[in-house]
Amino acid sequence: MSAQIIDGKQLARDVRADWKRRVVDLTERGVKPGLAVIIVGDNPASTIYVRNKVKACSEIGIHSEVHHFSENAQQGEILECISLLNQNKCIHGILVQLPLPSHFENNKVITSIAIDKDVDGFHLYNVGALVTGSTNFAPCTPYGVMLMLEQYRIPIVGKHAVVVGRSNIVGKPMAMMLLEHGATVTICTSKTKDLTQFTRLADILVVATGRPRMITANMVKSGATVIDVGINRLPDGQLCGDVEFDTVKDVAGYITPVPGGVGPMTITSLLCNTILSAERTKLSV
Ligand code: NDP
C-alpha cells in the first residue's frame, strides 16, 4: 500500500484563493488587511521566513510592513514599536519573528502585543483561550495542520492522535486542538520511554521534533495519517522532515511531504488570521 500524499502546496493555493475573495470584499468596504512583522537581527532562517510572509501577503492583497532591528537593539525599542502598532488602525496583525536574541524576554515582548492583533496566537491570553476552548487566534502551524485534516476529510473524533514534541508553538497547541476536535491525545517528548509503543497506536501521528527522519516505518500503524512538521537542513543542503518519508509512505494511509507539506499551510494560516482580524474590526465599527 502506498499512502495518499497530502499536497500542502496545492491546498495552500486553494485556501488562499478562497480567502482572497474575503480580502477583496474587505478592501472594497474600505478595510485593507495589514500585517506588521518585527524582526531582530539577521538570523538567515528568520530572514527567509519573513521574506516569504511578505511575498504571501502581497499575493493575496494584504498590506505588510517589516520593522527590522539590529541584533543589539534594546527590548524597550521593540516594546515602543509594538505599542505604536497596537494603536495603528491600518495594522490588524502583529508578529514578532522568533527566536529573539538572548537578551530579550520572549513573554514580555509577546504579551505587549494587543490580544486582538496577536495573529501568531502566542500571547498568554490567547494560549489560555485556546486551552479553554474559546480560541481567539489559533497558532499558525497547528491551525494549518487542522485545515489539512479537514480538507482531506480525515476523521478526528474518537481517533487516537499522538503528537511527538511539546513546544509552545507546535506540539502543545497541536495536542490541544486535536483534543478539542474529539481525538484522544497522547503527547510524547524526548523523555518518553520506548516511543515506538506510542507512535504505533496512532491513527493520526503528528511529528514536530527537529530530528531528521527519526520516525521510521516500523513506528507507524498501517493506514495511519502521518503529519510531518519538521524542517531540517541536512549537511548536503537538502531539506527533510522528521519522518523517513520513503519508507513510511508504504505503511501510512496519508502522509505529508517535506518540503511542500505543512510549511505552505503555516503561512496560509497566518494570512487567514490576519484577514479574520481585519474582518473583526470591520464588524466592530
Ligand atoms: P522545539 O525544539 O522547540 O521542540 C522539539 C520537541 O521535540 C521538544 O518537545 C522535544 O522534547 C521533542 N523531541 C526532541 N527529540 C525527541 C525524540 N528523540 N523523541 C521524542 N521527542 C523529541 O521544536 P519546534 O516545535 O519549534 O519545531 C519542531 C520542528 O518543526 C523543527 O524541525 C522546526 O523547524 C519545524 N517547524 C516547522 C514549521 C512549519 O511551518 N512546517 C513551523 C515550526 C516549526 P523535550 O521537550 O523533552 O526536549
Ligand 1 centroid to residue 168 C-alpha, Å? 10
Q: Is residue 18 part of a domain?
A: no
Same domain, 100 and 204: no
Ligand 1 centroid to residue 147 C-alpha, Å? 20
| Active-site residue, 120 included | yes
Q: Is residue 135 part of a domain?
A: no
Same domain, 147 and 258: yes
pLDDT digits (tens, 9 = 90+) for 164-174: 999 999 999 99
Same domain, 50 and 108: yes
Substitution candidate for ligand 1 out of 9, 209, 211 with most atoms within 8 A of CB: 209
Domain boundary among 47, 80, 114: 114
Q: Is residue 150 part of a domain?
A: yes
| Active-site residue, 197 included | no
Residue nearest to atom 36 of ligand 1 (CA): 230
pLDDT digits (tens, 9 = 90+) for 198-242: 999 999 999 999 999 999 999 999 999 999 999 999 999 999 999
pLDDT digits (tens, 9 = 90+) for 112-159: 999 999 999 999 999 999 999 999 999 999 999 999 999 999 999 999
Same domain, 244 and 150: yes
- The pLDDT > 90 percentage for the chain reads 98
Same domain, 152 and 249: yes
Q: Is 46 in the pocket of ligand 1 (CB under 6 A)?
A: no
Whether 283 shows a pLDDT value over 80: the answer reads: no
Instruction: Tell me how many helices (H) and strands (E) the chain has.
Output: 10, 11
Whether 285 shows a pLDDT value over 70: the answer reads: no
Same domain, 174 and 253: yes
Catalytic pick among 7, 116, 120, 203? 120
Q: What is the CATH number of the domain that holds 234?
A: 3.40.50.720
Q: Which residues contact 61 (CB under 8 A, 6 or more apart)?
A: 20, 23, 24, 27, 32, 33
Q: Is residue 201 part of a domain?
A: yes
Residue nearest to atom 4 of ligand 1 (CA): 167
Q: Is 195 in the pocket of ligand 1 (CB under 6 A)?
A: yes
Q: Is residue 22 part of a domain?
A: no
Q: Is residue 11 part of a domain?
A: no
Same domain, 103 and 213: no
Q: Is residue 251 part of a domain?
A: yes
Same domain, 146 and 83: no
Domain that holds residue 200: 140-263
Whether 282 shows a pLDDT value over 90: the answer reads: no
Same domain, 94 and 196: no
Same domain, 212 and 102: no
| Active-site residue, 242 included | no
Q: State residue 169's pLDDT score.
A: 96
Helix axes 262-284, 140-151, angle to 10 degrees: 100
- How confident is residue 80, by pLDDT bands cut at 50, 70 and 90? very high
Ligand 1 centroid to residue 56 C-alpha, Å? 25
Q: Is 168 in the pocket of ligand 1 (CB under 6 A)?
A: no
Q: What is the CATH number of the domain that holds 56?
A: 3.40.50.10860
Structural domains of the chain, count? 2
State the chain's mean pLDDT as an integer. 97
Ligand 1 centroid to residue 269 C-alpha, Å? 19
Q: Is 160 in the pocket of ligand 1 (CB under 6 A)?
A: no
Q: Is residue 232 part of a domain?
A: yes
Ligand 1 centroid to residue 125 C-alpha, Å? 23
